[in-house]
Amino acid sequence: MSANHQLIAAGMDLGYGDRQVVADFNLTIPPGKLTVIVGANACGKSTVLRGMARLLAPTRGAVYLDGKPIHTMPTREVATVLGVLPQSPIAPDAIVVADLVGRGRYPHQGWFRRWTPEDDAAVAEALRATDTLELADRPVDELSGGQRQRVWIAMALAQQTDLLLLDEPTTFLDINHQVEVLDLLTDLVRNNGRTIVVVLHDLNLACRYADHIVAMKAGRLVAEGRPSDVMTEAIVADVFGMASRVVIDPISDTPMIVPIGRHHIGAGALA
């Protein structure tokens, strides 16, 4: 499962109705890497993800999956290569974890090809990878936020796609669960050679976990590259309109952004 599919946005404009949200967006997703998209609220990062996942058609430009325009490909064919976990998926009432994760097998089934032992194996593997095997017969309604998020990721994993796009998979999670989820995604990239794109809110976690970081502002790409090359005080000031000090994360040696507000500025900071 390391065919390393190629996903490219070329001159993509995206919008809802008359409102343009993303303009002239160019991005090549590096294969076999964890790419993180960051930016202020409403900068269009989720919209970019939806565009690249063919959930939203570009008004101009195109997205290419392995050289083919993704919005004209049969959606089922895309679904065997590219998996997406949207921001707020809905769990049907009373559904059991194993059943929900099994829905990820949808693109591998058809009118005449129903559930097979292969599907059982894929679901089991997804549950194991997300450490949710012991939840498998519990109703999804009864899970905690962190457990539920892991179950949704398991559903996306059961789809067994080379490319995986996740929209803020750590929102609403406690810090320990955020780290757990990002560790899991890193495992998938390093051990299985998957290509993963994530939208994240937390800059420091983004800098720590990203192989490739993409900073956006007002619907445009501002900078991309390795976090240590990209995340400078100037870029943070540009993207978030906020003064900061960039230090080295003592754990991961990646950039760590320490915000500077109007209050609580110690004497040491002036030095």
Partner 1 sequence: MTLALDHTAIVRSIRGRLALRRRSITLGLALALALTFALALYLGDYPVAPGDVLRSLFSPLTGEVNKGVDFIVLNVRVPRAVLAVLTGISFALSGIIFQTLLRNPLASPDIIGISHGASASAVFCIIVFGMSGLWVSFGAFAGAILTALAIYGLAWRNGVTAYRVVLIGIGMAAIMSAVMSYLFTRARLFEVQQALAWLIGSLNAANAADIYPLALALLVLIPLTIALVRTLDAMQLGDDTATALGARVEFSRLGLILAAVGYAAFATAAVGPVSFVAFVAGPIARRLLNGAGNGFLQAALVGALVMLGSDMVAQHALPSIQLPVGVVTGVFGALFLLWLLTASNRAGRVN
Q: Is 109 in the site for partner 1 (CB under 8 A)?
A: yes
Dmax (CA) for the chain in angstroms is 71
Residues 200-259 contacting partner 1, CB under 8 A:
none
Taking a C-beta distance cutoff of 8 angstroms, is the pair 153, 184 a contact?
yes
Q: Is 96 in the site for partner 1 (CB under 8 A)?
A: yes
- Minimum Å gap between C-beta 116 and partner 1 is 11
Q: Is 172 in the site for partner 1 (CB under 8 A)?
A: no
Q: Which stretch binds partner 1 (CB under 8 A): 113-121, 193-201, 202-210, 215-223?
A: 113-121
Q: Is 112 in the site for partner 1 (CB under 8 A)?
A: no
- Minimum Å gap between C-beta 190 and partner 1 is 20
In the structure encoding, which two tokens stand for residue 82, read together? 């590219």
Q: Is 117 in the site for partner 1 (CB under 8 A)?
A: yes
Q: CA dihedral defined by 219, 223, 226, 228, rounded to 10 degrees? A: -120
Q: In what order do the strands lie in the sheet with 68-69?
A: 19-29, 7-16, 60-65, 68-69
Short-list 86, 77, 66, CA closest to 5: 66
Query: Which amino acid is present at 94?
Result: A
Point out which residues pair with 113 in neighbouring strands.
Answer: none
Coil/strand/helix, residue 126? helix
Residue number, 70 or 182, with CB nearest to partner 1: 70
Helix segments in the chain, DSSP class H: 45-52, 75-79, 97-102, 117-129, 145-158, 175-192, 203-209, 227-230, 233-240, 267-270
User: Among 1, 2, 26, 128, which residue interacts with partner 1 (rule: CB under 8 A)?
Assistant: 128
Q: Is 37 in the site for partner 1 (CB under 8 A)?
A: no
User: Among 91, 143, 218, 260, which residue interacts with partner 1 (rule: CB under 8 A)?
Assistant: 91
Q: Is 84 in the site for partner 1 (CB under 8 A)?
A: yes
Residue number, 51 or 227, with CB nearest to partner 1: 51
Residue number, 90 or 271, with CB nearest to partner 1: 90
Short-list 32, 9, 13, 31, CA closest to 21: 13
| Residues engaged in binding partner 1 (CB under 8 A) | 16-17, 50, 53-55, 75-80, 83-86, 88-96, 98-100, 102-104, 106-107, 109, 111, 115, 117, 120-121, 123-125, 127-128, 133, 136-137, 139, 141, 159
